[in-house]
Structure 1
Amino acid sequence: MSDIKKVVLAYSGGLDTSVILKWIQKTYDCEVITLTADLGQEEELDGLEAKALATGASKAYIEDLQEEFAKDFIFPAFRSGAIYESRYLLGTSIARPLITKKLVEIARKEGAQALAHGATGKGNDQVRFELSAMALAPDLVTIAPWRDWDLGSRTALIAFAKEHGIPVPVTKEKPYSCDRNLLHLSFEGGELEDPGHAPAPASHLLCVPIEEAPDQPEIITIDFEQGDPVAVNGERMSPASLIKHLNRLGGKHGIGRLDMVENRFVGMKSRGVYETPGGTIIHAAHQDLEGLCLDRELMHLRDTLIPRYAEMIYNGFWYSPEREALQAFMDKAQECVTGQVTLKLYKGGVWPLSRTSPNSLYNPDLATFEEDDVYNQADAAGFIRLQGLRLMAYNKVHGK
């Protein structure tokens, strides 16, 4: 560690990274450069460069990564149907590999010997940051103060910040640890640490409470090309702009709020509240369009791989060979997922109403309940008998 002269810190300006900036300076007697990745935090970035410099950073990078985040990270995950433990749309997880990628780029540019992050020793993010760094730049040291210092609680961090004149946005009235980006906003801590307590009103930000959502539904259309959403109500948008637009629509109708207890990679359960309004709408529309376009066996095979793919992202293996290989399969499967879905947004729900595609595999001549000249219903009897052969054989030997 004595060889470390320059560190690049992933800096949000919140309690943890504000304290970490000063702590690294004091502990390693080195230069600290901060990187704030603009992933769609919006107002949270105001004044961060001045704050970082005032806290002691020698340079403060603020990089607008919103379009790269949406196009190269969020959209590939959504093409793959990624959802962790059948509920979580991976809003925090999917951001970490991009932040690490940019940390490494700046470290190379500035001649730094180390990277630093503010993830705790109990969480998933330490794994995501460090596995990504090991894949991209194994020669760089990673500093993880939460695993090294004696500031073992939020209370101790607040006291350290006050001692060193660092303003922090955490109070006893709003004690959450939050992560916000283009895709979602997460809340942890405070009353949420007890799964038996309902979330307090302060944990609503992107999504209005259901009781306050409009009493009239809103009908929208989303166009997809090869699995990616490209337009809303006929208006083509960039990936980041489209997600932001759907965030506003979904949030207005109370869509995309999730309160769950999940299984962390490090071995413990944790409770969090996630708000993912736009992502929830995209996921519902995309899944519905796949029903029209994807071959049955291809869809079923892909579905068996979704939990494994989602675990790769959640556990920090974005830059692994297995995730990259699996992504190629997912993208191949999506080549036919082009079309339009019409949805109803109402009181926290997303209901697909209709879907069309030039690649539709739906044949009304086969599916009709009316008379047809395509399907001989008598053929089904032989099909069923063949399917039942093994069941009859098993029953003959093991039947009761």
Structure 2
Amino acid sequence: MSKGSVVLAYSGGLDTSCILVWLKEQGYDVITFLADIGQDENFEAAREKAQKLGAKKVYIEDLREEFVQDFIWPAVQANAVYEDRYLLGTSVARPCIAQRQVEIARKEGAEYISHGATGKGNDQIRFELTCYALYPEVKPWSMDANLMHISYESGILENPKSHAPADLYLMTKNPQDSPDTPDDLEIEFRNGVPVKVANLKDTTSKTSPLEIFSYLNQIGGKHGVGRIDIVENRFIGMKSRGIYETPGGTILLSAHLDIETFTMDKEVRRIKQGLGIKFSELVYNGFWYSPECEFVRHCIAKSQENVEGKVQLSVYKGHVYILGRESPKSLYNEELVSMDVQGDYDPCDASGFIKINAVRLREHRRMQGFSYSKK
């Protein structure tokens, strides 16, 4: 007699295949779920393997469009970067996968959800917090590559001074071996989200979310953009080394930062920068479906209402170079900043502004024992 049904987040690899067999041996009906979020995977081979190992049912679902639209784009709007360098490729993928896994569990009436994440990492937390948030009565069981990035950990990389093997990288070329001519792109944004990318040299144009991100991955990978090697702080308290390739995300971060600065009020952007840091921490730690993360996402989306326009950039030898930008909602006033035109600004007004801002500086120095002669 079956002990119940388990929906297993399955990859076709060794770990989740072993889990599948073990669950079967323990008397459970196993339903496998493999999400296509852009990883290089032979999905039909994985289906056949799961069936041979005894899976009661196999789900393989294409979540790429949803992944870009509902998870990557909010990260782009937030300029989301964890600890100044990590673009959260794994972190934003987990709630996307776990959300669909929960939907399948509800549909199948499964009592358990299982995944293959290590007990020492962040993914077990990300999976299980999502499960508890969306399906409180389920029992998560603990036992990565995707469209946004590829991550590498463990093995030789556990020694922080060991250099990564040259053949480790799969998405990006070594910048030294990349083309000697750049690709010049124009990325159009609306509400802080990319709606079009055009290659200014060969007239290639992409407009759907998946096409845009895939094309930027292609261009960035070709030029060796988006490689990082970092030691990061895991949520559970330990430090770990990770090597990441995020070519498309790196291009978008540069372009979005540029158009955002061009169109957003200074004080709004200062607040939004703090929200971006908080968003990154929440997503990294697995709290995508928390009330505070929903609140932060709402605030960030509000901040993006005027982030509209086009950014021209060049991708070359591991770098992204901004060439220019334009926007119907620009806060840049050419006449106001011109050295040759007075416009609405009276330079004499600066004297009072400077004196007011100097008050606290003078008081600070006075407290330290400095005296000023009045003239």
Please tell me the residue identity of whatever aligns with 1:206: M
97, 109, 120: which one pairs with 1:111? 109
Matching of residue 258 in structure 1 with residue 257 in structure 2 = no
389, 393, 397: which one pairs with 2:359? 389
Cα-to-partner distance string for 1:123-174 (whole Å, 9 max, x where unaligned): 00000001111100110011112xxxxxxxxxxxxxxxxxxxxxxxxxxxxx
* Counterparts in 2 of 1:121 and 1:371: CA distance versus 1, 3 Å: same
The within-5 A match list for 1:34-53 is 34-53=32-51
- Deviation of residue 45 (structure 1)? 2.7
Matching of residue 333 in structure 1 with residue 303 in structure 2 = yes
Cα-to-partner distance string for 1:375-398 (whole Å, 9 max, x where unaligned): 111111110100111221232233
Task: Give the Cα separation in 2 of the matches to 1:351 and 1:4.
Answer: 58
Task: Give the Cα separation in 2 of the matches to 1:3 and 1:300.
Answer: 56
152, 164, 169: which one pairs with 1:199? 164
| TM-score normalised over the length of structure 2 | 0.95
Name the SS for the 1:360 alignment partner.
coil
Task: Give the Cα separation in 2 of the matches to 1:393 and 1:350.
Answer: 44
The within-5 A match list for 1:253-292 is 253-292=223-262
Name the SS for the 2:65 alignment partner.
helix
- Calculate percent identity across the aligned residue pairs: 49
- Deviation of residue 257 (structure 1)? 0.8
Task: Give the Cα separation in 1 of the matches to 2:343 and 2:23.
Answer: 77
Cα-to-partner distance string for 1:312-359 (whole Å, 9 max, x where unaligned): 000000000000011111000001011000001110000111000010
Cα-to-partner distance string for 1:206-235 (whole Å, 9 max, x where unaligned): 000111111112211111111111111173
User: Does structure 2 retain, via aligned residues, the 8 Å contact 1:25–1:32?
Assistant: yes
Q: Which residue of 2 aligns with 1:33?
A: 31
Could you list the runs of 5+ residues in structure 2 that have no partner in the other structure? 200-204, 371-375
User: Does structure 2 retain, via aligned residues, the 8 Å contact 1:10–1:116?
Assistant: yes
Q: Which residue of 2 aligns with 1:360?
A: 330
121, 137, 159: which one pairs with 2:119? 121
User: Does structure 2 retain, via aligned residues, the 8 Å contact 1:192–1:271?
Assistant: yes
User: Does structure 2 retain, via aligned residues, the 8 Å contact 1:343–1:354?
Assistant: yes
- Deviation of residue 122 (structure 1)? 0.1
Please tell me the residue identity of whatever aligns with 1:78: V
Matching of residue 142 in structure 1 with residue 136 in structure 2 = no
Task: Give the Cα separation in 1 of the matches to 2:249 and 2:42.
Answer: 21
| TM-score normalised over the length of structure 1 | 0.89
The within-5 A match list for 1:275-354 is 275-354=245-324
166, 180, 184: which one pairs with 1:215? 180
Large movers: runs of 4+ above 6 Å:
none
203, 212, 224: which one pairs with 1:242? 212
Q: Which residue of 2 aligns with 1:175?
A: none
- Deviation of residue 373 (structure 1)? 3.3
Name the SS for the 1:57 alignment partner.
coil
Please tell me the residue identity of whatever aligns with 2:350: A
